[in-house]
Each structure stands twice: as C-alpha cells, then as structure tokens.
Amino acid sequence: MHYQPRNGPWTAVPGERMEPAACAGWVRKTVSLGEATGLVAVFNNGSGTWDNNNGRNYSLGTGDVTVAAGLTGVGDPCGSGPGPDPDPTNNAEVYYFTKTRNWTATRIHYQNGDLWSTTEPTGNTCVDWGKPTGHTSPEGYRIYSCQWPSPTSGMFPAQLYHRCWIGNWEGEDSRSCWLHEDLADFDTENPIVQKYLIDAYNRFIDMGVDGFRVDTAVHIPRVTWNRRFLPAIQQHATAKFGEKGRDFFVFGEVAAFVNDKWNRGSVNHSAQFFTWKERREYSADDATASLEQYAYEQGMGTGGQPTSRNAFLDGNAYHAPDHSKSSGMNIIDMRMHMNFGDANNAFWNAKDSDDSTNDATYNVTYVDSHDFGPNKSSVRYAGGTDAWAENMSLMWTFRGIPTLYYGSEVEFQAGKPIDCGPTCPLATTGRAYFGDHLAGSVTASDYGVVSSASGAVATTLQKPLVKHVQRLNQIRRAVPALQKGQYSTDGVSGGMAFKRRYTSGSVDSFALVAISGSATFTGVPNGTYRDAVTGDTRVVTGGTLTANPGGQGNARVYVLDLPGNPAPGKVGVDGPYLK
C-alpha cells in the first residue's frame, strides 16, 4: 500500500507490504496517522500493477476502513460489524479485498486471469483463441493467443481495419498502419467504417457539443477528411442547429515534434497542411485517392503549398478573411508548443508558420499538454512562475485560441513525469488528480471577479498565476481585437510586440501590444490610445507610440479610441504581473 497521511509525505514507491487478514481474499495494514485525520492511498501487487481508483486515489478515514471493487467502507470485513472509533493512538486499520483484481491475499501477487481458459466467445474471428504461446510476460506469466491486439490474428476484421503493423510516423503508412501496439487502425477509406464514425460523432453533435479535438488528424489522409468527415460534420451541425451550426469548431492534433515550419520536409505530416482543401481531383476510390494525394503533395513540396494572409493585417486595416480554400479543420499550434521553452522563441516561430496556415487566428495554442512539455519534454513545464506569466501574456493577446492544461495556473506537478504508464501511481505524475485544489465553493460577482470563496479552491484562487490569467481574460474580453483580430509586426520594433485589429459591423477594435520588453510602434493611426493594463493615456499625432511594460510577464495593451468603439481604459485591478 502506497499512502499519504493528510498533509504528510507519501511513502516510498511502491509502498508498504500488507499482511493477510483473518478472512479469505482480504489483506490489511495498520497505519499510524499521528495528528492526521485520514489518509489517501493506492494499492499495487508489488510488480507494477496498480489500483489508484481510476486516478483519483482512495480517501480513507481513521478506524477500520475497507476498499473493495473500487468502493470504500468501514468496519472489519472479517468481523461482525463496524469497528470501534479510532483508538487514542489514531490508527487506521486498512483492509483491501484482492479477489476482485485477481491478487492473492497472502503474497499480494498478480495472477493472470482465466479469460483464456473460458469458452470461446460466439462470433470470435481470432485464430487459435486461448492457445498458449511460447512467450511469457516480463513478470513470468504465460501469454495466450488473442490475449493482445494484433492486426493479422483475425481479432480485427480485415475489411474494417488496416492489417499493417507499426508504421512510420513520417511515412505514407502513418495513415494505413497501426502506430501503437494497442491502437487498432480503422480503414477510414472503407464506406462501412466511414458511416460508423460519422454516425458516432453525429450523436455527440446532437448532444450539443461545440466542437471536436481530433486525436490525431494526421492518421487519416487529408483527402478523406475533405471528402467525407469534414463535410459530414458541417452538414449535420447545420441541419441540427441552423446557421449557428456553421460555427462548429474542429481542430486537429498533428504530432509534428519539430521546431521548424514543416515536419522534416514532409507536407503531408505538417499541421498547417490539414487546414486546406484539395486543389485537384483524384480517383473516385478513396483508398486510391489517398495514395494519389500523398504522392502529388509530396511532389509539390514545401515550396509548392498554398499561402494565406488571413491572419495578417493590411497595414493597419482589417480585411475579411478568405476561407474559400479552407478545409474546415483548424489545428493545434504544434510549432508554438514545441518552441515554448521560451515565449519569445514561440512568438517568432509562430509568425514564420502563419502564412502557410489557412487562418492562423483559429490556431489552438498551449505550452504543455497531457502528452509533452515544450520541445517534447517528458515532464510538466517547470520554467518557473515568471516564465509562465510571460507565456500566458503572449497566448492571451496574440492570435489564436489560448489553452491551459489543467493545473498549470498553480504550476501543478511542475517537473513531474507526465506519464509513466503502469510503473508508478498516477498521483506522482503530471496527470494526477487536480480536483482537490478545486474543492469548495466560489461566488463570482462579475466576469473574472471572485466575491467569495471557501475551501481549498479559495487558496487556489489566491495563487499569482490564477490572478494573472483572470485579468488576462478580463482584458481579452474587453478588447475584441485580442479575441478575433488579425495582426501585424510591420513598423514595430522590439521583442514580443504587434498590432491587432478586428472590424465587423459596428465593431472596430485596434490595439498595440507589447509583452515584457519595450517596443516602438510607427505608422499607426493618430488618436487617443488608452492602456487596458494601467489606464495610461497617450495622444498620438505623429504615428508613433512607445510602450514599456517593464518586467517579465507584464504587458501594455494600448487601445485606440474610435467612433462608437471607445477604448475601455484600465480593465481589472493590478496583479503580481499585469501592473
């Protein structure tokens, strides 16, 4: 048992041995809690197999407590009723039922289940069901035929799944082979599979979801997206919700783990490639078309790809974006993500890729995720609070849709391994349960304004990055140019600095943004500018404005007073970074 008395340290992995209890199937452990009022615990068999309550850990009190089949209870399971109140030494007597997990009670040792000795299921297509192989697991257990996925065993019907084993992540076969031993690869060019997938995601659209994150878009040929899945999404969303269904948001993950504009020179494996429609006709057969499209676009190369100015201002003017060549899919900004070891680096790399994306104002931006940190780091981002503040200031004011991985606003699990599979408790990883930090109640008096809070969430809300992101959200909401605007760095000198503008109907919003370091903007419209961070007012008569945020993570957002669109002035209250 691996445990942690409340407000105390965890035991060393894998924990402490439990002993057999008086009744079959149960083991027990006496834990001295000292002044603690309870503990959290996870269990394992000593050989790398864990029960961590599906990542939530088990929360246990004092006295006799039980864990069985994912449920906690009280009392001695080997006795006749609930146990006595905690004794003066404040112990917890923890009982764990091993039979539901096929662990022996005496040795806490995992037993291979008997699934493979049962009657062959009706309709089985897997060859040699349950037949022992000549192989064993690392723990020494016999491996049986059909126990593990295989593309050629018959477990997955050949007419519905690809039969190619592990493919090349940057090859054509990334779209037609399994890419991981437990990820069977659908034959997405098969009409039966296409209908199944379309029917499945239509049910989610019917439920009212706003969009889909596609994990991972690169494993389906772009021509199949453009022919089948994307049009079907749009058609069903508009049929269900009318005109607003056209705003159904689809963005894809294209795992291009490089720091460059194109993924090792391959356009078919680069994120921005998936934002475009096809530009020529291919075979009516989808499988044939996928090969034709791959070969054609690889032959066109990086220099032969379409370009766009949808993300860029024309001087200081906003222009209507041209989405006539858009596929309808947007993307995770993998290049920013890879380069976010430093905010300035992420900014300049993003700018370099935006002309090859149909409309980069829809890029989803983040620093780290459930998979990797910047530069494919295997740990949660640990660049420090100041760097986090700077990253957030950039994401919330630059083009794109800012995204924050849960807990990063308190630097949750910073530096911890993001994932270690079955070899450690989930609680020790970057994917640990965050809900404890959100326990309690919150009352908001306005957007981004907390009037009262209680419980653990009250402490969470006092963290500096929480205050920072609250104010960034307030400023972004008050300045339309920061939400939807195009941008330009023409006439801008300095580091992370840019102009943004959004114009639609009666809305006209123009802003000058500088992050961390000073910047000078030349050739901007004359008029009165008000800083959304400090309230500072500047009257520009010669087309030049200089901003000096003066500190990492700080920013200046000078908004131009325009007829019918007054600058908001100072938004929110000063915090640890925006001041």
Number of domains in the chain: 4
CATH code at position 523: 2.60.40.1180
Q: Secondary structure of 388-412 in the HEC alphabet? A: HHHHHHHHHHCCCEECCCCCHHHCC
Residues 134 and 205 in one domain: no
Tell me how crowded residue 351 is: count the other CB atoms within 10 A of its CB.
Answer: 18
Q: What is the pLDDT of residue 186?
A: 95
- CA dist 577 to 317, 391, 534, 565, Å? 31, 12, 12, 27
Q: What would the pLDDT profile of 224-238 be if each residue is shown by its tens digit?
A: 999 999 999 999 999
Same-domain check for residues 361 and 231: yes
Q: Between these two residues, 488 and 420, which has the higher pLDDT value? A: 488
In this structure, the answer to whether residues 237 and 292 fall within a common structural domain is yes
Same-domain check for residues 246 and 276: yes
Minimum mean pLDDT range among 7-16, 290-299, 408-417: 7-16
CATH of the domain at 55: 2.60.40.10
Report if residue 234 sits inside a domain: yes
Residues 418 and 505 in one domain: no
Classify residue 125: in a domain, yes or no: yes
Give the three-state DSSP class for 534: coil
Q: How far is CA 77 from CA 3, 65, 193, in A?
A: 21, 9, 49
d(CA 318, CA 502): 6
122 in a structural domain: yes
Residue 243: Cβ within 10 Å count: 7
pTM surpassing 0.85? Answer: no
248 in the same domain as 367: yes
Whether residue 135 sits in one domain with residue 94: no
Token reading at 309: 């100015």
What's the CA gap between 211 and 245, in Å, rounded? Answer: 10
Residues 259, 366, single domain; the answer is yes
In a domain, 454, yes or no: no
Its domain, for residue 137, covers 115-144
- Rounded Cα–Cα distance for residues 78 and 559 (Å): 71
The answer to the question of residue 157 being in a domain is: no
Say whether both 426 and 524 belong to one domain. no
Sign of CA dihedral 471, 477, 482, 484: positive
What share of the chain in percent tops pLDDT 70? 94
Segment 113-129 shows an average pLDDT of 72
- Asked if residue 275 and residue 252 are part of one domain, the reply reads yes
Q: Is residue 442 part of a domain?
A: no
Q: At what angle do helices 464-478 and 385-397 cross, to 10 degrees?
A: 10
| pLDDT (tens digit per residue) in 483-502 | 999 999 999 999 999 999 99
Q: Is residue 74 part of a domain?
A: yes
Lowest mean pLDDT among 118-132, 177-191, 252-266, 414-428: 118-132
Rounded CA-CA distance 469/577 in Å is 10
Q: Do 50 and 17 fall within a single domain?
A: yes
**For residues 33 and 23, what is the distance between their CA atoms, to the nearest angstrom?**
25
Q: Is the pLDDT of residue 568 over 70?
A: yes
Tell whether 288 is covered by a domain: yes
Q: What is the CATH number of the domain that holds 216?
A: 3.20.20
Q: Are residues 367 and 419 in the same domain?
A: yes
Element (H, E) at 471: helix 464-478
